[in-house]
Amino acid sequence: MVYRRDFLRKPGIAIIVLILIFQIYNAAAQSDNSWRASTQTIEKLSKSGSEFNYYEEKVPSYTLPDVLTTIDGRKVNNSSLWTKVRRPEILELFRENVFGRVPETPYEKSFKVVNLDKKAMDGAATLKQVDITITATGKSLVIHLTLFTPNKTQKPVPAFLLIDNRGPANTDPSRKVKSEFWPVEEAIARGYGMAVFSNADVDPDNFDDFKNGIHALLDKNPRPDDAWGTIGAWAWGASRCMDYLVTDKDIAGDKIAVVGHSRGGKTALWAGAEDTRFAMVVSNESGAGGAALARRRFGETVGRINTAFPHWFCSNYKKFSNNEDALPVDMHMLLALIAPRALYVDCASDDLWGDPRGSYLSLYNAVPVFNLSGTNSVIPEAMPPLNKQVMSGEVAYHIRDGVHNMLLKDWSWFMDFADVVLKK
């Protein structure tokens, strides 16, 4: 005992021991059967934003709304009751309280291929650039859609539609500038079409009192408290791109996946909920207002997102700032709206702001809805290890090492899942 006490009194050795203990703890956390956030990341984020919680032990107790009980108390135990009663109920609750509803203003749309290159990417692909023009109330708006399809694969092909919230530097149609955020070359090599549009074409990502973008064309004033926000508008834009894609002979219209990162991930989920033509939805690190359970109050909260981005959701959502337990929904119910179609949720280990565990639990609690249609989707309640993809039936999940981003590693796993659910 005296030897050990003297040993630890030496400052250099004591520091080494502490470092080793710290490394062993974090290695165990990552090599365990279930992922856990590293202590270092938790402490770093807690110091930079002390008003937000990053500790699991501080997550409050909560009760999720029952996704399989109708408003009048009936238990949903078959796909028919889900499709005819419960799904419409939940969709309406999200329209009224979270994303808002699309106005009924009539509009006209047209498609024009403004550029066609059948030998793009050194002959590997065909490039089409399409202008989707929306006209209403004497005004017009153009959504610029870029589409690559493989030349050496039998057509029509399944495709990914990316809702781009990062800007044109990541989606260069000339392919002189390449980005992991939209890895066209890799997707073409695997037999997928790759489409993209900029969310800014539909609506600007700033609080402009809804005077610009598609709101300027379709909104009716005064705007009601359940009027659509910007995320709802972007999701509507994804559906207008879908309107074109289902007409393109090179694309399998029943095998299109909508993909989004961060705010785009929230948008992809809502687009998939509102538009059942999307055969697969990919939510990449969508966090609060996306896949993460609101009632956990972990990382970004309803109150914070409503304050920082007051234009994203409908006005009614502000009622639930710092009042999450009063929400008639939670985000497992949003994920359930994708069923029985394919759904991929993923997170990043350092992105605790987006609550990876809350996103996984959201998926876990949505799985019973997928199984109403016999998809045989089974995932454990415990999270998978870091960089370990989980696929079962029509659902998939992974948590990748690193920060908030969408990388080729993520896309490779998306395509692995698509190989199973879109190419069957």
pLDDT tens for each residue of 48-69? 878 999 999 999 999 999 999 9
Q: What are the distances in angstroms from CA 63 to CA 66, 140, 294, 322, 325?
A: 9, 46, 11, 16, 8
Q: Let me know if 404 is a catalytic residue.
A: yes
Q: Of the listed 38, 198, 262, 349, which one is catalytic?
A: 262
Q: Which residues neighbour 341 within 8 Å (Cβ) at sequence distance 6 or greater? A: 272, 276, 278, 279, 280, 281, 394
Q: What share of the chain is helix, strand, coil (3-state, %, to 5)?
A: 40, 20, 40
The whole-number pLDDT of residue 3 equals 32
Domain ranges of the chain: 2-49, 79-421
Strands 157-164 and 139-150: unpaired
Residue 312 phi, psi (nearest 5): -70, -40
Please list the alpha-helical segments (H only) found in 275-355. Answer: 302-308, 331-336
**pLDDT for the residue numbered 33:** 86
What is the per-residue pLDDT across 257-314, written as a single tens digit (0 to 9) for each?
A: 999 999 999 999 999 999 999 999 999 999 999 999 999 999 999 999 999 999 999 9
Q: Are 330 and 342 in contact (CB under 8 A)?
A: no
Please report, for residues 35, 40, 148, the alpha-carbon distance to residue 19 in angstroms, rounded to integers and kept in the order given.
21, 12, 50
| DSSP-assigned letters across all residues of 100-153 | -B------EEEEEEEEEEEEETTTTEEEEEEEEEEEETTEEEEEEEEEEEESSS
> What whole-number distance in Å separates Cα of residue 346 and Cα of residue 363?
10
Q: Residue 234 corresponds to which amino acid?
A: W
Q: Could you tell me how many residues make up the chain?
A: 424
pLDDT number for residue 50:
84
**pLDDT score, position 204:** 97
CA dist., res. 411 & res. 231, Å (int) = 23
Burial class (CB in 10 A: 0-12, 13-18, 19+), 371: middle
| Parts of the chain with a pLDDT under 50 | 1-8, 14-31
Can you give the pLDDT at residue 7?
37
Can you name the CATH fold of 79-421? Rossmann fold (3.40.50)
**Do 169 and 216 contact (CB within 8 A), yes or no?**
no
Rounded to 5 degrees, what are φ and ψ at 109? -135, 150
Judged by phi (left if over 0) then psi (alpha if -120 to 50, else beta), residue 183 lies in beta
Query: Is 262 considered catalytic here?
Result: yes
What does residue 406 show for φ and ψ, rounded to 5 degrees? -125, 115
Taking the C-alpha atoms of residue 302 and residue 294, their distance in angstroms, rounded to an integer, is 7
